[in-house]
Structure 1
């Protein structure tokens, strides 16, 4: 035990060759604090520099007392000479004891608005990077699983297809039917002023083939499915189940993300087709009951006046929307912290992000197909 005891008595003595310099020696540690206080109290105030290179041992308490002596003598930090290893500790103790900087001024309202915008942009940029990283890892795991049938997890895929697709059919078809009726009513109201009520058929057909069929389905699944994915994975993370999965040597992306993503990729196009048919039925119902257009005439005009490209334009967007909804829902679940409040916050965030991104991508796709004259 004697190897770590402080055996060298601390000392303070003026330099014989330079009387305005104080020589510091010995052990300056917590165990010598009583003796050090006595030495500091008797230090000569005419001292201009302090040489502590003869100090053998130094700890945080000794550094604090050494700085207190410098302050008592009214000397700046540059007047202290110490060993390099001791100087690092002295600087750390000096910085630790420094007062906290004053809070910056609140600034003008314009300054606060710009600051908020800057924070939002930085946060959006970071979220984009995280999303792209998650997308890359998911696609890599998806490519690996395609060539390894043992990792397809068919049971999990079928289960999520039922939860995502089959259970959502009534809601999707009902809302699409009602929206189709509303579009037909609005079209009839506007076109009746020009005596072109018959064109309501083309209006409903183009609207649901190209936009409303896939967009309504994606928005409904963004609110219904993305939130469910986030809540499920977030609850597993808060319960430390994800850590258990990694401990067993399993990949959470392969186990939790890919089955949900594959289920969405398979079911969203089917739901889009059903939503399109339901919307057309809603429009046809209004045409039959309000505009005296028979079902045969309605179907005949759809076949004669509309090209199949409108249908395929809408269906081509379904896999993209499925990827977006599945990735955001699962990613927000992985971001959840270990508390219930975080689960609710990220569930809300997944719904908002999914719906916003679906609408943004739909607008970009509309401009893209318009430029291609499709």
Structure 2
């Protein structure tokens, strides 16, 4: 059977019949475009056009578009157009082509700057409220599960906790120690330089010791952990959500919070105070080395002076903050990971949001603790 596409025209009175045959597919679209334009040149006096599709063997979207375009142009010229031999499947395809043949939508008008600012602010406030509700729900589930470990300690996943503790704690020691060492040296150098005008360079040791132990040690450690471990938690949970592994856990009657979130939170709460201690010691070592080089204070002099400058409560303030900051970082990272949808774009967006929100909340929490400890004079 000859399957070469063709279209022929036959006239009967004031009507014309266009009969299509062969394969009307995309591979023949270029040649058919010229033929159908030639066939559509109707004689004068034509009022009615019948398009016969019964002779078509194969028909795809390109062929449907050529037929639809021809019929549309004829209707625009005031002719009556009907189809014959169309069949259910071809009718559906031509209908879909007709639906898509619409003029482009008018470009969306940008809202005024003030209106857009108010809208964005409102959406941010609403989203913050939703995040707070979800965080509260996740925190409640976590507390209940941890309380259950008191009565059923065998359900605690020690292997998972140990693994995450190694990754979040032990493997983070080098970068935490290096950065804290450098920051401690910078604080000591700047303090000594500014206090030199008053002849009080030695007080830079007090400045570095108190600032590092109370604020900088735990704050820098929390920010680095939020960027390092927080992003990793969000990416891990988000990837599992995309691959439907979390749904598989629920199918197996396992609670994702107990299996995935609680071990990470426990490991983070244990690791951050230990890393804060490492950061404090590294920063003080950097400050001591800088004091030795910059103001000629030897380690034998630096250590006793530092011991007199700081008290035990100065050291404890930083460590008291650490578990709370770890809990905030872990909760935000886990929540954002569980909100990942089925695309890589969503994974990247939620990971970025987790890091930004965690760092913001860490700074806010540090400010609240600073006001609290100042109020109780601790």
Distance in 2 between the 1:104 and 1:238 partners? 33
Q: CA deviation at 1:357?
A: 0.4
For 1:99, the equivalent position in structure 2 comes to none
Contact 1:236 1:242 in 2 (8 A): yes
For 2:169, the equivalent position in structure 1 comes to 165
Q: CA deviation at 1:122?
A: 1.2
Distance in 1 between the 2:300 and 2:150 partners? 45
Matching of residues 248-267 of structure 1 within 5 Å: 248-267=252-271
**1:211-261 CA deviation, whole Å, 9 max, x = no partner?**
111111100000000100011111111101001101111110110011111
Of residues 129, 146, 151 in structure 1, which corresponds to 2:155?
Answer: 151
For 1:311, the equivalent position in structure 2 comes to 315
**1:352-371 CA deviation, whole Å, 9 max, x = no partner?**
11111001100111111112
For 1:202, the equivalent position in structure 2 comes to 206
**1:46-90 CA deviation, whole Å, 9 max, x = no partner?**
xxxxxxxxxxxxxxxxxxxxxxxxxxxxxxxxxxxxxxxxxxxxx
Of residues 231, 235, 244 in structure 1, which corresponds to 2:235?
Answer: 231
Contact 1:146 1:152 in 2 (8 A): no
Q: CA deviation at 1:139?
A: 1.2
Distance in 2 between the 1:291 and 1:253 partners? 53
For 2:283, the equivalent position in structure 1 comes to 279
1:348 aligns to 2:352 (yes or no) = yes
Structure 1 length-normalised TM = 0.71
For 2:180, the equivalent position in structure 1 comes to 176
Gaps in structure 2 of 5+ consecutive residues: 1-105
Structure 2 length-normalised TM = 0.70
For 1:93, the equivalent position in structure 2 comes to none
Gaps in structure 1 of 5+ consecutive residues: 1-101
Secondary structure of 2:340's partner? coil
CA RMSD of aligned residues (A): 1.6
Contact 2:209 2:309 in 1 (8 A): no
Distance in 2 between the 1:357 and 1:120 partners? 15
Of residues 109, 116, 125 in structure 2, which corresponds to 1:112?
Answer: 116
Of residues 346, 349, 373 in structure 2, which corresponds to 1:369?
Answer: 373
Of residues 326, 331, 340 in structure 2, which corresponds to 1:336?
Answer: 340
Distance change >3 Å, CA 251–CA 283, structure 1 → 2: same
Distance in 1 between the 2:374 and 2:275 partners? 25
Q: CA deviation at 1:145?
A: 2.1
Distance in 2 between the 1:200 and 1:316 partners? 25
Distance in 1 between the 2:328 and 2:223 partners? 11
